Amino acid sequence: MRERTHGFTTDRTVDVPCGADDSGNGYELGLELTVPAGTNAGTTGWEVDYRIGDHTASTTYPWGMVLCSTPSFDDQPCKHLAQQFGLP
């Protein structure tokens, strides 16, 4: 098992149902995002498909994000991309 930043591991599986005695009664979602050098990317949200026992569902998180290969978010290519995705 290899430790990742923020305490997540590469083989992390949440296997305790919410509400169980040993549950934190919450949820966790960890994303590791990268872009190749010289590439920019953005999104306005995330669709997450999940399974709890025999129940499968999908939910959307409207968290916008821009990943820029420029040294600063204030560089024009990055600002332009953020504007395209409606981010400040």
pLDDT confidence of 8, banded at 50, 70, 90? low
Name the band, by pLDDT with cuts 50, 70 and 90, for residue 27: low
Query: What mean pLDDT is predicted for residues 53-66?
Result: 87
Mean model confidence pLDDT for the chain? 76
The three-class DSSP label of residue 38 is coil
Percent of the chain having pLDDT more than 70?
66
CB 42 within 8 A of CB 66: yes
Which pLDDT score, from 0 to 100, does residue 70 have?
A: 84
16 has a pLDDT exceeding 80: no
**Domain membership of residue 10 as a residue range:** 5-84
> How far apart are alpha carbons 81 and 42 in whole angstroms?
7
